[in-house]
Each structure stands twice: as C-alpha cells, then as structure tokens.
Structure 1
Amino acid sequence: MPELSPTPKPRGRLFRLGAAFVVLCAVAGYLVVQYLTGGAGAPGCKVVSGKADGATYELTPEQAVNAATITAVGTGRGMPERAVTIALATALQESGLRNIEHGDRDSLGLFQQRPSQGWGTPKEILDPTYAADIFYEHLAKVPDYRDLPLTVAAQRVQRSGFPSAYAKHEQDAMILAAALTGQSAAALTCEGRQAATGAAGPDAVRSALVRDFGRDALEPVGAVVGGTATPKPSASGGSGGDGRTVTLSVAEETGPGDGRSLRERGWQLAHWAVANASALHIERVSYAGRQWAAGNTDSQWRAAGRTSGAGTAKDTGTVRIVTAQ
C-alpha cells in the first residue's frame, strides 16, 4: 500500500491573499490621490488661445504662478503686452518658468540672472517679483524693442550664448501673455487640488496681490462703474460674509502704458487668482458673470449662479476670490 503524502500547506492561498491585499492597497491609494486632486492625477493648468486657431498651452501650478507674477510686474510698470510676451518667452527658455537655484556659472532664478554681472544679490534674483522687474527695467532701455524680433529683443537683455533659442517659445508666450494680461477672457483654467505650500486664506491672497501688483490692486483710485464708485476691497465680501472672500474693485489702467480696459484688468486679476489657486488654497473665482471652481476634473469657467456674487456679464467692476479658509 503506497504511503500517503503529507497534506499540502496552503501556500497558494496565502500568496493569493497577499496579492489581493497589495492590489486593494494600490486601489485605495489611487482613490485617495483622485480625491485629493479632483480626479486629475497631477494638478495642472491650461491656457487656451483667444484666437480662432484653438491653440493651447499646458503648464504646472508652479509655472502658472511664476507666469502670473511676471505678467503682473510688467503691467504694473506700464509695459505693453509685447513686453510681457518677450519676458515670458525668455523665462520659458532660461528656466522653464521655474525659480531654480542653480544654472550656468552663477546664474539663478527665472531669468538665470547672474549676481556677478550686476543683476542683484542671489536673494534678490531668487525673488520672482524682483527678477521680473529688473528684466523689464533692462528691456525698456532697448530702443524700439516692440518692433524687434522677439529673439533679438530678448538677446539684447540676456546676452545669452544661444541667442536664437528664445524664438521657439514665442507662440506659447503669446498665448500666456494674452490670457494673463486679460486680453483673452476666461482663457486660463486649472484642475485638481494641491496642498498649499505656504500661508493660505484671505490675508495670504492680499499679501500676494500686493507682492505682484502693488497696493493699487487693493486700493484703486477713482474706480467708477456706471457712475457709482466701486466698493473698497474686503476680506468678507460676497454673500454670507463668511470671512473667506476677497472682493477686488477693478480700475482701468491709467499709467504710462497703452491704457488697458476695465474688462482686461478684471480678467487679469481673475486669471491671476486661478494661477495661484493651488498655492493659496483658492476655491472659487468670479468675474463678469463667469465663475471658476477648483476641485473639478475640468475646472472650466462657467456661467455663475445668482447666489455666487459674480454679478452679470456686464458687471466688470468687481472680482471675487473665495478661499478655503
């Protein structure tokens, strides 16, 4: 009579259970990421051309913040949209719109400016607002820069070893500049959620506005809409007075630049807020009867409801920014 073999150990069952557990953990992790990012995986932003060509440009939240800062500094100096395009194309080439702490020799920051060449201290150059401002200061000294090819104007400022490299970024920079100066309406959207990298809430939004635009962003002088003075900005505007809303009065540009319309100024502020949504935990932006809300898979600008405080499409005098806290 043959000898009975020992009862096999349930190794196969244990293996299957272990594999199932790993799969469940992976699915759970995926669902958590989807929830935190609003289903977008990696939070991102998109700019759509205001022209009929349907061109788009995608960028990260970090890049969007830096592009919005560069644009705000330029318009604050009264520089035209062409100057903003040149600055954005230069930063795209030099740093990919990232505020990097390294580069060729002692180059630093968005524009890879060199302390040894008189651009400022390392600390100053790594401040995006300072870096953009000093770039525009040098660009303004280039004779007829608006009429020069972009790569020539940028090279007169940068004196790069690769002077023709800026040209390849011109189209993308034009799309970005049109949106971030407010020339293109409802053109910038961002998706998903991302933990704030610093301070959040209405105070943080106001501080960032002053940093990029100056105090005029909060205290416009002589802003009048329909014959009635626009309201002063507040931290608790909008419906409900929940303390999470920053309400901005919009004033036409009256500085040394080309003069920008009320609507363009409003869309610049609204797009700036969307670009900074991840960094400042901004949940909703309303302007001219349109509203953008964070956390959706598409996060498109939509017609605002009556209770949103966005006003009508003709109401271009107020931008409302609602934060998460």
Structure 2
Amino acid sequence: MSRKRGRALLAWLTVTALAAALLIAGGVWVAGYFRDSLAPPLAIGCTATVGTGTYRLAVDQTENAALISALSVQRGMPARAASIALATSLQESKLRNIDYGDLDSVGLFQQRPSQEWGTAEQIMDPVYSATAFYNVLEKVPGYVDMPLNDAAQIVQRSGFPQAYAQHEGLSRAFASALTGQSPAALNCTLAPATPVGTPKTLEAALDAVLGPLPVTSTAGESSTTVTVPVPATMGWEVAHWSVANAQQFGITKVSYDGRRWDRDANNNGTNAGWQSAGTAAEPRHVVLSMAAPPAP
C-alpha cells in the first residue's frame, strides 16, 4: 500500500470512529430524554393496607373519608359505623361533596332536603351531613351485626338497595386505618408541599371532627413543628388523619409511636410509607412538620 493511500485510510477510519462515537452519545442522550419525558407521573393518592388487602382512594376522597371516620369516633361509635358510612358515601357521591344529584340530592351522602335531611346549604357542610347520617344509623337496632349493605339501605332508603355491598372491602380498610384500629396502615403519596396551612387552621380542623386537642408549635426556618397531645386510644387516628390531610395543610412529616411518615420519601417513587423514626417517640404525642413560608 502506498504512503498516500495509507494516510487516506487512516483518515477514513478516524472519521468513522468519531461518527460512531457521536452516534452512540446521541443515542444515549435521546434514550435518556425519552426515558425522563415518558416516565410515569407521580402516583398521587392514598392507600389503606389492612391484612393482605390494599385499597386506594384519591386525595380528596381520603380527606372526606378521614372526616367521616373521625366523627364516628368522636360520637363513641364503633369502627363498623365508619365502614357503613364510607360505603354509603362511596356509592352515593364517590366520597365527594358534590352540589348536584338525583332530584334534589346533594352532598357526601346525597341527602335530600325534601326528605327532611336539612337545607341544601346544611347538607353541603360535610360535618353536618355525616352527623345527620350517624344520627339515623345509631337508631338502627343491631346495625353493628347486620350486613353492611342492609344497614346502609335502612338509613338511605335508596332505589338501588343492593349497591352498597360492593364497597365493603375498601370501606372496612379505610375505616380501620382512619379510626386508628390498624396502626401505620394509611399512606399518601403527594406532590411537594407548599405552605398552605398554619397551626391555628390545623387546630380548628382537628377540633371540628375530633374535639378539642391543644396544639403547640415551634417555628423554624423552613418548617413549623406542631405537637398534638393525644389520649393513647386516639394516637393512630390523629396520626392517620394528619397524613390524610397533609395536602391541604402543607404537612411534610408525621411521627407517632416510634414511626414516621415522610412526604418527601414517598415523592421519590419508593412509596416508603411509615418507617422507623430512629428515636423513641414522645409518648401520647403526634408530632407534625408543616411547610413554612420563606422568610421575607
């Protein structure tokens, strides 16, 4: 081979190698781009895991489920009452406080002003409508032991009398978690927190559904620590209620009984749930972290 042809071949091999390297690098970049752009979005929502069953609700549904469940405990009713109420609301409104329905039905339970459930304005208040439901349910003889569907139908008098039974598994799981019967059973995956609540608004919300619980708070640079003293029988109920309402109050962490729910840990796609807090928890206190607005 002549010297001239050798130089030409070397140049050709160099150009070919460079082109191949660029092609490979470009392929890696394109693959990375599409991997990131086509990655599944954060699975926003909440789950209740009791026994071998895991059930899922959207965040707004979970907030309403927490309210309904908390009111049953405040009244001294058993977890079965919360299961019946949740199944009823799931069937009637999908656990959403809607201002429309069949005929004049509105609210979480689709109660009708024309059937003496109250005014439309009253029924649209979730605390009022859940309380009205429980007022009737607790007068049903033996409701705790009868089939869930039958108890719900006696209260509601629905045109679809067998419809409530289909929601029993989900309702029992969320009721068990949200009434505190099943520790560390409720988990929520949420978008990054923003400072949307204050200790005072949190205390008012707790008071509305669980009764007076004195709240103390300590402000930090990026978060506010809130301590809620609770009776031992209410600890997991308050802890789960706090997770269920983390979106609307900007809650980032909830600790109780040596376990911690960390909002950021769930945001990385690992669905971490409740983990060991690493240190002994202060007894009979639920400790929260709330996102704080940046310093001016």
- Structure with the higher helix share, 1 or 2: 2
Q: Is it true that 1:317 corresponds to 2:290 in the alignment? A: no
Structure 1 residue aligned with 2:247, among 264, 272, 278? 278
User: Following the alignment from structure 1 to structure 2, what is the Cα–Cα distance between the partners of residues 242 and 41?
Assistant: 24
Matches within 5 A, 1:1-325: 41-49=42-50, 51=51, 54-193=52-191, 199-215=196-212, 217-218=213-214, 233-236=215-218, 244-251=224-231, 262=232, 264-295=233-264, 296=266, 297=269, 298-306=271-279, 311-312=280-281, 315-325=282-292
Structure 1 residue 117: Cα displacement: 1.2
Number of the residue aligned with 1:17: none
User: Following the alignment from structure 1 to structure 2, what is the Cα–Cα distance between the partners of residues 29 and 105?
Assistant: 48
| Contact 1:94 1:112 (8 Å CA) reproduced | yes
CA change 1:265–1:40 in 2 (3 A) is: farther
- Give me the TM-score of the superposition, normalised by structure 1: 0.73
User: Following the alignment from structure 1 to structure 2, what is the Cα–Cα distance between the partners of residues 136 and 301?
Assistant: 31
Deviations 1:36-85 (A, max 9, x none): xxx85241111101x2xx10101111011000000011110111111111
Letter in 1 for 2:276: A
- Give me the TM-score of the superposition, normalised by structure 2: 0.80
| Contact 2:61 2:96 (8 Å CA) reproduced | yes
User: Following the alignment from structure 1 to structure 2, what is the Cα–Cα distance between the partners of residues 195 and 28?
Assistant: 25
| Contact 1:43 1:194 (8 Å CA) reproduced | no
| Contact 2:223 2:290 (8 Å CA) reproduced | no
Q: CA RMSD in A?
A: 2.5
| Contact 1:287 1:318 (8 Å CA) reproduced | yes
CA change 1:27–1:123 in 2 (3 A) is: farther
User: Following the alignment from structure 1 to structure 2, what is the Cα–Cα distance between the partners of residues 162 and 316?
Assistant: 47
User: Following the alignment from structure 1 to structure 2, what is the Cα–Cα distance between the partners of residues 93 and 283?
Assistant: 32
User: Following the alignment from structure 1 to structure 2, what is the Cα–Cα distance between the partners of residues 63 and 299?
Assistant: 21
| Contact 1:95 1:110 (8 Å CA) reproduced | yes
SS of the aligned residue for 1:146 comes to coil
Structure 1 or 2, whichever has the larger Rg, is 2
User: Following the alignment from structure 2 to structure 1, what is the Cα–Cα distance between the partners of residues 156 and 216?
Assistant: 41
| Contact 2:148 2:168 (8 Å CA) reproduced | yes
| Contact 2:187 2:243 (8 Å CA) reproduced | yes
| Contact 1:191 1:299 (8 Å CA) reproduced | no
Structure 1 residue 194: Cα displacement: 6.1
Letter in 2 for 1:203: K
Number of the residue aligned with 1:4: none
Tell me the number of residue pairs that the alignment of Structure 1 and Structure 2 aligns.
258
Unaligned runs of at least 5 residues, structure 2: 1-29
Deviations 1:178-219 (A, max 9, x none): 1011110100001131677x951222211211122122x33x
Structure 1 residue 137: Cα displacement: 0.5
CA change 1:101–1:291 in 2 (3 A) is: same
User: Following the alignment from structure 1 to structure 2, what is the Cα–Cα distance between the partners of residues 30 and 138?
Assistant: 52
CA change 1:195–1:27 in 2 (3 A) is: farther
Report sequence identity in percent: 47
Number of the residue aligned with 1:256: none
SS of the aligned residue for 2:217 comes to coil
